[in-house]
Copies of this chain bind each other. A is one copy, B any other.
């Protein structure tokens, strides 16, 4: 219980104090079966007493395992931190690491320069057993290099070119499809969409979901009802201004933040949500509940998503990177006020009463 940990408290020292060899102490620490109970107890007692902690660097050097994984978030993301999506993802990943006794290294790529510096660190020699990489234009190049290095890699949100790599993603296409289908069921006729930044797989899939839902009802895709945003509030705002002349009566925004920005544009144009323009977002971030009106949206199981990502990576580390694992997680439609559903319900009950 000595709280002042001796700086040079090594395995050797513990072995000495408990009257056994270094190897035996190592076995105890690593929970090897081949240690007699009595010895195990004795050694554990000494460890407890002295407050001994194994030196991770030495351990890593000898075993070639660091119990440390990296999370790489590519450049575009630094601005994305305005969006609650990444923090929550990070939280899920951190939680997964804690659960499995892994340490998390965080690599935010802000500049081209960072990118070069980070690559050497993101490998086994850089102390990492494996890496989680957010997909996106910049990330995708890193992914290729790391896969070539034979590193265990799990891509978060599948890359555009997704052969030969494990990934975990959310079912963006069906999520968007469900969002738009909901609007169609509610009777809206001119349904627009605000997409994310083009070039990402999630953006493409959500747009595809929109297209599928519209086309399935035998309607034509009207290009004037499609505007590009960038996943930010401001981006949603400007995209909505582009959409307004086309007079949509409902809009599916590819992120909640963009939906909120778009609703702001609608209000400024003197129109009401959802009476004049109804909205469905994507993500179900906390502010969705506090928006005015509360946002109908597609919920992603994001924290669990992060935990799963970690577990897949650990599986890769421990059982080999082949065959590649591919996981797609489902989404859920959360109906609130911005789509007009609750309004309609109130009107119906008025009529009935």
Binding stretch for chain B, among A76-84, A178-186, A217-225, A343-351: A76-84
- A82 & B286 in contact (Cβ 8 Å cutoff): yes
- The contact of A61 among B57, B66, B233, by CB within 8 Å, is B57
Instruction: Give the dominant DSSP class at A's interface.
Output: helix
Least CB distance from A93 to B in Å reads 9
- The contact of A260 among B5, B61, B113, B290, by CB within 8 Å, is B290
* Given A84-B82, A98-B108, A286-B82; A148-B3 close (CB under 8 Å): yes
Residues of A within 8 A of B (CB): 3-5, 7, 53-58, 60-61, 66, 68, 71, 78, 81-82, 84, 86-88, 90-91, 94-95, 98, 101, 103-108, 110-111, 113-114, 117-118, 120-121, 123, 125-127, 145, 148-150, 233-234, 237, 260-261, 264, 267, 286-287, 290, 292
- Nearest 10 CB-CB pairings of A with B: A57-B60, A94-B108, A81-B87, A57-B61, A106-B106, A87-B87, A56-B127, A53-B120, A98-B114, A55-B125
A84 cross-chain contacts in B, Cβ below 8 A: 81-82, 84
CA distance A150 to B6 in the complex (A): 11
Copies in the complex: 2
CA distance A114 to B14 in the complex (A): 26
* Given A81-B88, A233-B286; A121-B103 close (CB under 8 Å): yes
